Structure 1
Amino acid sequence: MTRKVFVAGAGMIPFKKPGSSDTYDVMGATAVRQALEDAGLGYEDVQQAYAGYVYGDSTCGQKALYQVGMTGIPVINVNNNCATGSSALFLARQAVQSGAVDCALAVGFEFMQPGALKSRWDDRAPALERAIGLVDELVDRKDLPNAIRQFSGAGKAHMEKYGTRLETFARIRAKASRHAANNPLAVFRNVLTTEDVLAAPALWEGVLTRLMACPPTCGAAAAIVVSEEFARRKGLKTDVLIAGQSLTTDRPSTYDARDMIRVVGFGMTREGSQQVYEQAGVGPQDLDVIELHDCFAQNELLTYEGLGLCPEGGAEKLVNDGDNTYGGKWVVNPSGGLLSKGHPLGATGLAQCYEMVQQLRGTADQRQVEGARLALTHNLGLGGACVVTLYQKHA
């Protein structure tokens, strides 16, 4: 990284259930205004903008941003499945880090529909065709939606390989609910016990209950990233540094290993996190707080191992030792994560950024991780893309 890049401002609106939110453009514009106000900038200061969303027509980014300003700047629309928000941030950070611009905006939003994720196009081969074909061979539940088959199939593979118990996934979900109870922007703030999670209707008997899957939600979040020189000139905050970032995609092993854990992005997570650790000269043991892609409780457990928090097969011990919550080695998903906060696809990665900005500034209220100095986010999209970002508290 040739230039330091700082998050000068971040904004996020409360996530809501489908049918109860504003339209995507209003949500996106609101989050952008919040980020600009937080940074102390006007829209005229932004030199490039990256707008992330999965479900929508072309140039939805312009429709949202034109409500904030029409300054003629480049607006790039981004779609990288569930890693869309962080992909927009990756591009904005890259533009600033390279010297192309001094101030860039990333915004993510999603106006979602109830029910399981599905393609809106039925007249062409799906992007996940190869993965779905492999899942058809490895997972004997063609009656279930693809996302459930993929992530639950990976969880089942972990159970069979390492003896992981269903109760462990339930404990992860219960932990998420306790964290979300302190997050006014989360859609679900009711506290659940492990027993509540296990007693929920089974979507796959012995493998997944309804409460172990994240809900579809609507929402938006945004971030302003700037160079050190621009921040100094404008008198902006430089308390949150992007110390490392990677965007990885699949390698042949995703499919060739014929392992459901690899099918859902374990390799991308492992490679992306190692790249970031090397960039920043740190290791997983140095992290204080983590926001990771817990679209299913099963994927949170797999990601502990992918990020190197524990060896492969060691995630259940990590959960049992309480090393994923306050008082343990790391606080994972203090926001409540996707499981409780919600998962509006295009907004998720930038909502993670928003949470980390609050944590490193010490403004996370009851969610605050004491003394947080290094914060990692992990945003995964099958198909595939994985963005890992390391934020550092900067004097």
Structure 2
Amino acid sequence: MNTLMKERPVFVAGIGLHPYQFISEIPYVALGLRAVREALGDAGIAWAAVESAYVGTSAIGMAAGRVMLQHLGSTGLAVTQVESASASGCSAFRQACMEVASGVSDVVLAMGVDKFGGAHRAADKDGLQHLTPTATLPPVKFALMARDYLRRHGLRPEAMARVAVKNHSNAALNPYAQFRKPRTLEQVMASPKVVGDLTVQQCCPRGEGAAAVIVMSERAIKRLGVDRRRAVRVLASVACSETLQHGEETSAAAEMVRHSTMQAYEQAGIGPRDLDLVELHEAFSIEELVYTEAMQLCPPGAGAAWLERGASAIGGECAVNASGGLLGMGHPTGPTGVGQIAEITRQIRGEAHGRQHPGARLGLAHMIGLGSVAFAHVLAASH
């Protein structure tokens, strides 16, 4: 994949979103089409130019892509539906990148769309007897991660609550975010407990929304007259799953994040200190502390201090979840990974008005999904 993308560069040429929101009566088709139309308009191309589409969704049902996209016109394009739980959208994006890098297509749509309520976890149907009915629930897993991390580093719960404060503040500046209200540390800590030390405002909301990006080859950019200055290059695309761990189960996710991120750095030919932006999976506040360490953005055990001194804020050393992250922007599942790509693209273009990270040139988008799987993408300015 690395060789392919070096020989045949891949670019994000258009981005679009339907704002993330609480569940409504709006059909998923309307959510998705708004995002796709916005991405087409952003790229300045017609629907007929799109040769293939990958649709990430986890809760809508079979054949969601074709049912939705036919309203744009029946052009005969290939439509593939992708599901990887929280990572469904970035899985769709990876497939689109590989298709362009391999030369199969020049213009590919990658999108995610979801409406909360219809998902069923395969882990609940695996035929195994679990120790407890909560064994497969993500909040329990991450509450255990939080307990282990806080005890190991001698920290109070406020250390991870500051993640929610930062990300809700960022989301308040994002017109696509589900939550657009800043939160104080006192408000985050006083919100109702969910499990362990995790409060409501430290757990991501579920809802609905859509995100779409147009992935192009260099040849298509020239042929279609797309503005090359606004095209953002994809330097790396990595996918992996958990490996067998000895010791605490809560370390498995961190190791998966570390492994996938190191692979992405190697593919892109960069190091962690080169990054200006990171969008990462923090469905629960503790994840951002653990994963920024796993990504080597800060030393082991220093995640809380790195956050507290403003290093991960917009305008800091590396803006982490400038979009508001899953906690603030929202986590409709299918669109989330594509929304991360859109945010990094917007930041690199210098178009993230009101929340622009100065001098943004290089970004990492990283998502994990139940199972567990991980996807990492590195994007860079192309001029």
State how far apart, in whole Å, the 2-side matches of 1:164 and 1:381 are: 27
1:7 alignment partner in structure 2: 12
Q: Provide structure 2 residue ranges, at least 5 long, that are not aligned to the other structure.
A: none
Q: What is the SS of the residue equivalent to 1:105?
A: strand
1:180-195 matched pairs, under 5 angstroms: 180-195=171-186
- Quick check: 144-153 or 272-281, which moved more? 144-153
Q: Which of 323, 328, 333 in structure 2 is aligned with 1:345?
A: 333
**Structure 2 contact 315–357 (Cα < 8 Å) conserved:** no
1:305-324 matched pairs, under 5 angstroms: 305-324=293-312
**Structure 1 contact 158–261 (Cα < 8 Å) conserved:** no
Q: Are 1:361 and 2:349 counterparts?
A: yes
Please list the CA deviations of residues 282-333 of structure 1 after superposition, one character each: whole Å capped at 9, or x if unmatched: 1111111111111010111111112111232221221222211034211111
Shift of the alpha carbon at 1:174? 0.5
**1:82 to 1:219, Cα distance in 2 relative to 1, 3 A:** same
State how far apart, in whole Å, the 1-side matches of 2:21 and 2:207 are: 5
State how far apart, in whole Å, the 1-side matches of 2:232 and 2:125 are: 43
2:100 alignment partner in structure 1: 96
1:130-141 matched pairs, under 5 angstroms: 133=130, 136=131
1:231 alignment partner in structure 2: 221
2:125 alignment partner in structure 1: 124
State how far apart, in whole Å, the 1-side matches of 2:122 and 2:269 are: 44
1:210 alignment partner in structure 2: 200
Q: Which of 30, 35, 44 in structure 2 is aligned with 1:31?
A: 35
State how far apart, in whole Å, the 1-side matches of 2:311 and 2:45 are: 39
1:198 alignment partner in structure 2: 189
State how far apart, in whole Å, the 2-side matches of 1:384 and 1:121 are: 12
2:233 alignment partner in structure 1: 241
Q: What is the SS of the residue equivalent to 1:353?
A: helix
AA in 2 matched with 1:125: D
State how far apart, in whole Å, the 2-side matches of 1:153 and 1:67 are: 45
**Structure 2 contact 314–356 (Cα < 8 Å) conserved:** no
Q: Are 1:156 and 2:161 counterparts?
A: no
Aligned pairs, how many? 376
Q: What is the SS of the residue equivalent to 1:355?
A: helix
TM-score by length of 1: 0.91
Q: Are 1:325 and 2:313 counterparts?
A: yes
**Structure 1 contact 189–340 (Cα < 8 Å) conserved:** yes
**Structure 2 contact 123–136 (Cα < 8 Å) conserved:** no
**Structure 1 contact 353–377 (Cα < 8 Å) conserved:** yes
TM-score by length of 2: 0.93
Q: Are 1:257 and 2:247 counterparts?
A: yes
AA in 2 matched with 1:190: K
Q: What is the SS of the residue equivalent to 2:165?
A: helix
AA in 1 matched with 2:38: Q
Q: Are 1:72 and 2:76 counterparts?
A: yes
**1:21 to 1:168, Cα distance in 2 relative to 1, 3 A:** farther
**1:21 to 1:295, Cα distance in 2 relative to 1, 3 A:** farther
State how far apart, in whole Å, the 1-side matches of 2:87 and 2:122 are: 20
